[in-house]
Copies of this chain bind each other. A is one copy, B any other.
Amino acid sequence: MTLLSALDYASVAVFALTGALVASRAQLDIVGFIFVACLTALGGGTLRDAILNRDMVFWVADPVMLAVAGSAAVTVFFSAHLLESRYRALLWLDACALAVAVPAGVGVAMGMGSAWPIVIVMGMITGCMGGLMRDVVCNEVPLVLKQGELYVTAAFAGAVAAVVAATFGLETGIALLICAAVTVTLRAGSLALGWRLPVYRARPPRNGPRN
């Protein structure tokens, strides 16, 4: 198994866990768990493959992915009550999933010889869009857009780091590991230490009322 396919499997499994945790917060049944887990785990990569026009979407080429996502969902259905805080588990699992999904997306785009802006965007899409679909469908506030938290930023920085590393001639495998490290560091720093970017605030305009 190559590093790239290991990343793919890990990202599917961990994102499926987060999808199932959101399903548990919405009190769905077991099929609902599997549905949300698959949407979350496969959504970002499916979008990446559709945009890159790959011959086959990754889970059509390898249906074992479906079994991985489904097993993760069933596991959560029967064990989520053992967690002390499901929301905290969700946040940290989501951070891990982001850190494997971004290099997975970057690796696919690099493998297809895409230009570097496309490589970066594919990393971000693979990392962020599955979770966004999960949150939109289940009516949660999207983690992606939580004010000031480093989420899209972490994905962006990780993808940029991979491109820079590859430009300096490092092997793809190393570049992807650097990508994962940067992504998880920024995201974990944001979760644990409150690292943030300044958010937009409407300052008093020069004339006219605040809006």
Interface residues of A (CB under 8 A from B): 23-24, 26-36, 38, 46, 50-53, 55-57, 60, 63, 66-67, 77, 80-87, 114-115, 117-118, 121, 124, 128, 132, 136-139, 141-142, 144-145, 147-148, 152-153, 156, 196-209, 211
Contact = CB atoms under 8 A, between A and B. Distances in A.
15 contacts: A24-B200, A28-B145, A29-B197, A29-B199, A31-B152, A32-B152, A32-B199, A33-B200, A35-B145, A50-B50, A53-B57, A66-B121, A82-B205, A83-B211, A85-B208
A113 to B, nearest CB: 12
A132 B139 CA distance: 12
A196 to B, nearest CB: 7
Contacts of A87: 211
Given A23-B200, A51-B57, A85-B208, 16 more contacts: A26-B145, A28-B148, A29-B148, A29-B153, A31-B156, A35-B128, A36-B145, A63-B115, A63-B117, A67-B117, A80-B200, A81-B205, A86-B202, A132-B137, A137-B142, A138-B145
A29 B82 contact: no
Contacts of A199: 27-29, 32
Contacts of A38: 121
Contact of A196 (B29, B34, B83): B29
B205 A84 contact: yes
Contacts of A132: 137
A65 to B, nearest CB: 9
B202 A24 contact: yes
B66 A60 contact: no
Contact of A35 (B114, B144, B198): B144
A45 B80 CA distance: 34
B66 A29 contact: no
A52 B49 CA distance: 11
